[in-house]
Structure 1
Amino acid sequence: MVINNVVYNKIIKPYYEAFTGLSKEVWWLALITLINRAGTMVIPFLSLYLTQNEGFSLSQVGWIMTAFGLGSVVGTWVGGKLTDVIGYYKVMAFSLSVSGIMFVSVQFLHGFYLICAGIFLLMAVADMFRPAVFVALSAYSKPQNKTRSVTLIRLAINLGFSLGPAFGGLIITSLSYSALFWVDGTTCILASILLLWVLNPKKAKILDEVKNANPKSAYTDTTYWIFFVGLVLFGFTFVQYFSTVPLFYKEIHHLSESQIGLILGLNGFLIFAFEMPLIKYFESRSFSMVENIVIGVVLICLSFVLLILSSWAGILIIGMILMTFGEMLAFPFSNAFAMKRAKRGNQGEYMALYSIAFSVSHIFGHNTGMQFVDNFGFDNTWYLTAGMAALSILFLFILKRRLRSEPIETE
Structure 2
Amino acid sequence: MTATDLSTDHSRAVADGAHTHSSDPGGVGEAPESSRAARLRSFDVADFPEVTGSEEEWRFSAVDVLAPVLADRAADGHLEWTTTPQELPVGVTLTRLDPAAAVAASVQAPGDRAAAIAVARSGGATALSVARNTVVDEPVEITLTGRGDDVRGHLVITVGESSEVTVIIDRVGSATYSEFVSVDVADNAHLNLVLLQSWDSDAVHAGEVVARLGRDARLRGTVVSLGGRVVRLNTSAAFAAPGGDIELFGLYYSDAGQHLEHQLFVDHAAPNCRSRVTYKGALQGKGARSVWIGDVLIRKEAEGTDTYELNRNLVLTDGARADSVPNLEIETGEIEGAGHASATGRFDDEQLFYLKARGIPEDVARRLVVRGFFAELIQQIGVERVEQRLIEAIEAELEVTGA
Same fold (TM over 0.5): no
Q: Relative contact order (C-alpha < 8 Å, sep 6+): which is higher?
A: 1
Length-normalised TM-score, structure 1: 0.25
Length-normalised TM-score, structure 2: 0.25
Greater helix share, 1 or 2? 1
